[in-house]
């Protein structure tokens, strides 16, 4: 299911802040996956998905790059260190911050993506 809204538009609409990868906000996300277990994301997340997590260490960049997710969405007002953000820039990984808990972030994201899906089928 290909969405017709890019990351920049989605972030603006939902109030997410871009922490890294601003040059890649033209990507079009495909659905989303929520997990804090890196092995789970490596096994289940699909290319183009948004990844919702509260993890903020360097390894999230490696997993996001490996699985080719469209962006990482960091939740729970977690602070991402400059070293991780710099690594994300090097790897062309977008990191967004939602400021909300994972459940609320997943909820608003689900609602928005379903609306886009419905509108694209009309």
Domain boundaries, the chain: 7-121
- Token pair in block for residue 38: 């890196």
- pTM, rounded to two decimals: 0.93
Strand partners, 51: 33, 72
pLDDT for residue 87 is more than 90: yes
User: 83 is written with which tokens?
Assistant: 């070293």
Helices (H), the chain: 7-14, 38-44, 59-67, 82-91, 102-121
The arithmetic mean of pLDDT across residues 81-99, rounded, is 97
Nearest by Cα to 109 from 52, 69, 53: 52
Q: Which CATH superfamily is domain 7-121 in?
A: HprK N-terminal domain-like (3.40.1390.20)
| Mean pLDDT of all residues in 95-104 | 96
Provide the angle, in degrees to the nearest 10, between the axes of the packed helices 59-67 and 82-91. 20
């Amino acid at each position: 299911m290909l969405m017709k809204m890019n990351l920049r538009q989605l972030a603006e609409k939902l109030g997410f802040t871009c922490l890294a990868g601003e040059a890649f906000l033209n990507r079009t996300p495909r659905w989303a996956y929520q997990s804090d277990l890196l092995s789970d994301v490596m096994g289940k997340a699909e290319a183009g998905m948004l990844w919702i997590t509260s993890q903020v260490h360097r390894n999230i960049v490696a997993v996001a790059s490996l699985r080719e997710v469209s962006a990482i969405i960091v939740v729970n007002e977690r602070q991402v260190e400059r070293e991780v953000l710099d690594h994300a820039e090097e790897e062309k990984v977008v990191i967004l911050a939602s400021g909300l808990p994972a459940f609320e972030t997943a909820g608003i994201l689900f609602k928005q993506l379903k609306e886009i899906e419905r509108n694209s089928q009309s």
